[in-house]
Chains A and B, each alone.
Chain A
Amino acid sequence: MVDVTPADAVPPAEVGEVELYHPHSWWTKYVFSQDAKVIAVQYSATATAIGLVALVLSWLMRLQLGFPGTFDFITPEAYYQFITMHGMIMVIYLLTALFLGGFGNYLIPLMVGARDMVFPYVNMLSYWIYLLAVLVLVSSFFAPGGPTGAGWTLYPPQAIMSGTPGGQDWGIILMLSSLILFIVGFTMGGLNYVVTVLQGRTRGMTLMRLPLTVWGIFTATVMALLAFPALFVACVMMLLDRVLGTSFFMPAIVEMGAQLQHNGGSPILFQHLFWFFGHPEVYIVALPAFGIVSDLISTHARKNIFGYRMMVWAIIAIGALSFVVWAHHMYVSGMNPYFGFFFATTTLIIAVPTAIKVYNWVLTLWRGDIHLTIPMLFALAFIVTFVNGGLTGLFLGNVVVDVPLSDTMFVVAHFHMVMGVAPILVIFGAIYHWYPKVTGRMLDETLGKFHFWVTFLGAYLIFFPMHYLGLMGVPRRYAELTDMTIMTESAHHLNSFISIMAFVVGFAQMVFLFNLIWSIRHGREAGGNPWRATTLEWQTPQTPPAHGNFGKELPIVYRWAYDYSVPGAKEDFIPQNVPGDFAPSREPA
């Protein structure tokens, strides 16, 4: 090895040392800040706030499903609006924004050893456009006719017709505009995340020394940059159909006895564009979660990640494959059976790299020194939930199984398990893990344990029974289920039970929010590296990291991110910026 001490090392070709923007006033420091860490907190706070709206919407839906006929204010139209906004907010404005805008902004510069993102001004713009998108979205609640009720997939022709809430009012226009803004804002942020990983890495930080968190967020961002344009195109074209009367997606149609001016458009074209974005979106949310959970497990089991190279390759493979599976969301659209066969095959192939990742997480735990800290609990819960949701994905990936199940609660249970609960569990784990770095204080342990157990068990009690409802044939998207022969008395009881559990789990989130706010002032002092972790963000001179992250000199990286329990080393972890030779750690693969 080349032994170079930081003192006589050639100073690395600095990124942005000259151009690093220094704030001059309170406004530019905390509000219009160009510091990625502040932007990250802004992104996270906005995403959490709008996420709470979506949480309340899900309660309202559960009130209607669990106790039909009891609440007069939940009309079928209102129910559809709740469904649509809940789905759209959770998938795009919460999960995407929080993983990439929140964790991406905070962790990428710190983990690769950069002072900031490479284009800080564009990064700031990205947040403000995201905020604008959120405000446009929220404004649709107050627009005449209310928000759109077209379902989160916004399928035309129904999305822009008068029978759908918001279809001929402001709802759909505001929804589409908000999405277009979101995509513009995200592209600005995404450029930053990608180019910072490419160009902002400090000396010694090769790609294969990056923590898996960075690999996950990086790959997800590349995918998002290539997938969001499809949604952009779909939104622009639908907006033209709705506002200027073009016929991109709208076929000739008779509404209330009157022939509409549209003619000859193809709703299937919209579905192709939407799912060309929509499927990669699943992995845009999942890959950062995969990366983060790898780091949580390795750190809290005090053991190097098993099969690091395989993990990296699997992330890349999943990213590439996810672009050729989109039509598995369209099995019921009447497609050519050969296409169905092709897309079922590619869908099932994705299970291979995904399964490799799951095995590697489990093998990392094997004979590790497992500390059941709260981040670790959430990581373990993620593995279980993700396997569960992934297995039902294998069911639904097959055309013959999907066709009868497609319109039932089974699908709702599947995607909530795999892309709702699983990534959210990782987000919670990540917040418990990195909160000490962001604030300098630990979150309260007791409240955290309470939050974990109620959330994990509660989420299971909500979504596991839904599989059975789906197998019984209970349809999704229906506001009123009372008079159906499918709805036996036991199914009604199950629905009421699910609704009550939804309230219990929602309450636990309030406890979590309280913990977040309370601990800023009253939490236990954390110190710089409370988890004794190896990655660079824990090696900053100040906690929380100051502007510029690393003090006078950037760290120099001498090893990979997973040197835990190295035989012969004094401590059970060796930070990435510590030079010196030790016997090679146990070989992972």
Chain B
Amino acid sequence: MSVILVFLLVIAGFAGWWLSHQRLTAKPWLEQGLAGDFVGFDRSALPTAKIGLGVFLAVVGCLFSLFTSAYFMRMGLPDWQPLPLPRLLWLNTGVLVLSSVALQCAVVAARKGQIDNVRLGLATAGFTTLAFLVGQLMAWRQLTGDGYLLASNPANSFFYLITGVHGLHILGGLVGLGRTSIGAWNGARPERLRLSIELCAMYWHFLLFVWLCIFALLAGWAATFIDICQRLLT
């Protein structure tokens, strides 16, 4: 359970940092009047939707940390046989990076108000993301074709489970991206469009980060890394 505890520690650190800026030592019974004398304690200047997405991503991060924790605990048992990762996953990783980059370009274009580049970025991101999902499915087929079935070994089970959950999150993101694209082609208000593109980009970057962690985990590098850390500590 150490992975999830480390994750929660990060969350707690962030929460602590935020709380420390909220005057938790104030004596509210002595302070009447409009709280205008302490500006900045009402709410954040960030758009509410961004904060909402941030909280949601914390929950998603928690979910994947728990999968990782379970992975490490189950890995230590004797029947674990690691499976060879299909080379295709490297290509998929590249495609996912590309879609993240495309969305970032769309964000930049939206800030400059270049609607054509926004559309180009959104379309590229959409197609590369679909390509990533297709690539993941092909990787699954390749593995099942080679006899690495879901139930035959826990390493396989975790591979399908974790990549599957990640894919579902991408699929959910595509719904948001689709709605944003409809807005981009139908002439949504610029500031609204910019916000939704920024939200998409934030989500994509996060899921790319999660994917890189998962990739490291499934390839066994994460375990090696932790092993080295443990040896350094003991």
A interface residues with partner B (beta carbon < 8 Å): 1-4, 9, 12-13, 15, 118-119, 187, 191, 194-195, 198-201, 203-209, 222, 225-226, 229-230, 232-233, 236-237, 240, 244-248, 261, 263-266, 269, 272-273, 276, 304, 308-309, 312-313, 316, 320, 323-324, 556-560, 562-563, 579-582, 584-585, 587-588
CB within 8 Å of A: which of B72-116? 73-74, 77-80
- Nearest 6 interchain pairs by C-beta: A1-B33, A264-B79, A560-B28, A246-B157, A229-B63, A245-B151
In the bound complex, CA of A191 to CA of B30 (Å): 33
Find out whether the CB atom of B55 lies under 8 angstroms from the CB atom of A205: no
In the bound complex, CA of A201 to CA of B43 (Å): 7
In the bound complex, CA of A4 to CA of B34 (Å): 7
Find out whether the CB atom of A266 lies under 8 angstroms from the CB atom of B77: yes
Find out whether the CB atom of A198 lies under 8 angstroms from the CB atom of B67: no
What residue in chain B is nearest A246 (Cβ atoms)? Answer: B157
What residue in chain A is nearest B4 (Cβ atoms)? Answer: A276
When distances are taken between beta carbons in the complex, the residues of chain A under 8 Å from B165 are 236
In the bound complex, CA of A509 to CA of B103 (Å): 57
In the bound complex, CA of A15 to CA of B51 (Å): 14
Find out whether the CB atom of A316 lies under 8 angstroms from the CB atom of B19: yes
Q: How far is the CB of B56 from chain A (nearest CB, A)?
A: 6
Which of B8, B32, B58, B67 sits near A233, CB closer than 8 Å? B67
Instruction: Tell me, yes or no, whether B146 is within 8 Å of chain A by CB.
Output: no
Q: How far is the CB of A28 from chain B (nearest CB, A)?
A: 21
What residue in chain A is nearest B80 (Cβ atoms)? Answer: A264
Find out whether the CB atom of B157 lies under 8 angstroms from the CB atom of A247: yes
Given contacts A208-B28, A560-B29, A581-B33, contact A240 B161 (CB under 8 A): yes
In the bound complex, CA of A201 to CA of B66 (Å): 33
Given contacts A233-B63, A558-B33, contact A248 B74 (CB under 8 A): yes
When distances are taken between beta carbons in the complex, the residues of chain A under 8 Å from B147 are none
CB within 8 Å of A: which of B43-66? 43-44, 48, 51-52, 55-56, 58-59, 62-63, 66
What residue in chain A is nearest B157 (Cβ atoms)? Answer: A246
Find out whether the CB atom of A581 lies under 8 angstroms from the CB atom of B32: yes
What residue in chain A is nearest B45 (Cβ atoms)? Answer: A13
Find out whether the CB atom of B51 lies under 8 angstroms from the CB atom of A209: no
Instruction: Tell me, yes or no, whether B35 is within 8 Å of chain A by CB.
Output: yes
Of A229, A248, A276, A580, which is in contact with the most chain B CB atoms at under 10 Å from its CB?
Answer: A229
Given contacts A204-B35, A244-B151, A248-B157, contact A198 B58 (CB under 8 A): no
In the bound complex, CA of A271 to CA of B42 (Å): 42
In the bound complex, CA of A312 to CA of B80 (Å): 47
Find out whether the CB atom of B51 lies under 8 angstroms from the CB atom of A273: no
Find out whether the CB atom of B8 lies under 8 angstroms from the CB atom of A226: yes
Find out whether the CB atom of A195 lies under 8 angstroms from the CB atom of B52: yes
Find out whether the CB atom of A559 lies under 8 angstroms from the CB atom of B66: no
Secondary structure of the B contact surface, majority rule: helix
When distances are taken between beta carbons in the complex, the residues of chain A under 8 Å from B154 are 246-248, 264-265
Find out whether the CB atom of A191 lies under 8 angstroms from the CB atom of B42: no
Find out whether the CB atom of B74 lies under 8 angstroms from the CB atom of A266: yes
Find out whether the CB atom of B79 lies under 8 angstroms from the CB atom of A2: no
Find out whether the CB atom of B43 lies under 8 angstroms from the CB atom of A264: no
Find out whether the CB atom of A304 lies under 8 angstroms from the CB atom of B29: yes
17 interchain pairs, CB-CB under 8 A: A1-B31, A2-B34, A187-B56, A187-B59, A191-B56, A204-B34, A205-B42, A206-B42, A233-B63, A237-B70, A246-B150, A247-B151, A312-B24, A560-B31, A579-B33, A580-B32, A587-B30
Q: Mark B1-14, 1 if CB is under 8 A from A, else 0.
A: 10011001001100
Find out whether the CB atom of A226 lies under 8 angstroms from the CB atom of B59: yes
Which of A209, A273, A309 sits near B70, CB closer than 8 Å? A273
Instruction: Tell me, yes or no, whether B36 is within 8 Å of chain A by CB.
Output: yes
In the bound complex, CA of A119 to CA of B53 (Å): 11
Given contacts A244-B150, A248-B157, A263-B79, contact A584 B55 (CB under 8 A): no
When distances are taken between beta carbons in the complex, the residues of chain B under 8 Å from A191 are 52, 55-56, 59
In the bound complex, CA of A209 to CA of B8 (Å): 27
When distances are taken between beta carbons in the complex, the residues of chain A under 8 Å from B4 are 230, 276
Given contacts A276-B1, A309-B27, A559-B32, contact A264 B78 (CB under 8 A): yes
When distances are taken between beta carbons in the complex, the residues of chain B under 8 Å from A264 are 77-80, 154
In the bound complex, CA of A558 to CA of B34 (Å): 5
When distances are taken between beta carbons in the complex, the residues of chain A under 8 Å from B44 are 198-199
Instruction: Tell me, yes or no, whether B230 is within 8 Å of chain A by CB.
Output: no
Of A207, A222, A585, which is in contact with the most chain B CB atoms at under 10 Å from its CB?
Answer: A207
Which of B24, B31, B59 sits near A309, CB closer than 8 Å? B24
CB within 8 Å of A: which of B161-197? 161, 165
Q: How far is the CB of A254 from chain B (nearest CB, A)?
A: 17
In the bound complex, CA of A187 to CA of B60 (Å): 10
Q: Mark B144-157, 1 if CB is under 8 A from A, else 0.
A: 00000011001001
Instruction: Tell me, yes or no, whether B22 is within 8 Å of chain A by CB.
Output: yes
What residue in chain B is nearest A231 (Cβ atoms)? Answer: B66
When distances are taken between beta carbons in the complex, the residues of chain A under 8 Å from B33 are 1-4, 558-559, 579, 581
Q: How far is the CB of A589 from chain B (nearest CB, A)?
A: 9
Given contacts A558-B32, A558-B33, A581-B32, contact A207 B70 (CB under 8 A): no
What residue in chain B is nearest A232 (Cβ atoms)? Answer: B63
Find out whether the CB atom of B29 lies under 8 angstroms from the CB atom of A562: yes
Q: How far is the CB of A575 from chain B (nearest CB, A)?
A: 12
Instruction: Tell me, yes or no, whether B141 is within 8 Å of chain A by CB.
Output: no
When distances are taken between beta carbons in the complex, the residues of chain A under 8 Å from B80 are 264
When distances are taken between beta carbons in the complex, the residues of chain A under 8 Å from B79 are 247, 263-264
Find out whether the CB atom of A230 lies under 8 angstroms from the CB atom of B36: no
When distances are taken between beta carbons in the complex, the residues of chain A under 8 Å from B48 are 15, 118, 195, 199-200
When distances are taken between beta carbons in the complex, the residues of chain A under 8 Å from B232 are none
What residue in chain A is nearest B77 (Cβ atoms)? Answer: A264
Add 11 more A-B contacts to A206-B42, A269-B70, A562-B29 (CB < 8 A): A4-B33, A9-B34, A195-B51, A200-B43, A204-B42, A206-B38, A208-B22, A229-B59, A233-B66, A233-B67, A309-B26
When distances are taken between beta carbons in the complex, the residues of chain A under 8 Å from B78 are 264
Which of B8, B37, B51, B73 sits near A269, CB closer than 8 Å? B73
Find out whether the CB atom of A195 lies under 8 angstroms from the CB atom of B55: yes
Find out whether the CB atom of B29 lies under 8 angstroms from the CB atom of A587: yes
In the bound complex, CA of A204 to CA of B161 (Å): 47
Instruction: Tell me, yes or no, whether B41 is within 8 Å of chain A by CB.
Output: yes
Instruction: Tell me, yes or no, whether B234 is within 8 Å of chain A by CB.
Output: no
When distances are taken between beta carbons in the complex, the residues of chain B under 8 Å from A272 are 1, 73
What residue in chain B is nearest A556 (Cβ atoms)? Answer: B34
Given contacts A233-B66, A248-B74, A269-B73, contact A199 B43 (CB under 8 A): yes
In the bound complex, CA of A187 to CA of B28 (Å): 32
Q: How far is the CB of B188 from chain A (nearest CB, A)?
A: 14
Find out whether the CB atom of B34 lies under 8 angstroms from the CB atom of A261: no
Q: How far is the CB of B218 from chain A (nearest CB, A)?
A: 16
When distances are taken between beta carbons in the complex, the residues of chain B under 8 Å from A308 are 28-29
Q: How far is the CB of A358 from chain B (nearest CB, A)?
A: 21
Find out whether the CB atom of B1 lies under 8 angstroms from the CB atom of A1: no
Which of B31, B37, B41, B52 sits near A119, CB closer than 8 Å? B52
Find out whether the CB atom of B41 lies under 8 angstroms from the CB atom of A198: no
Find out whether the CB atom of B27 lies under 8 angstroms from the CB atom of A230: no
Find out whether the CB atom of B34 lies under 8 angstroms from the CB atom of A208: no
In the bound complex, CA of A187 to CA of B55 (Å): 10
When distances are taken between beta carbons in the complex, the residues of chain B under 8 Å from A276 are 1, 4, 66
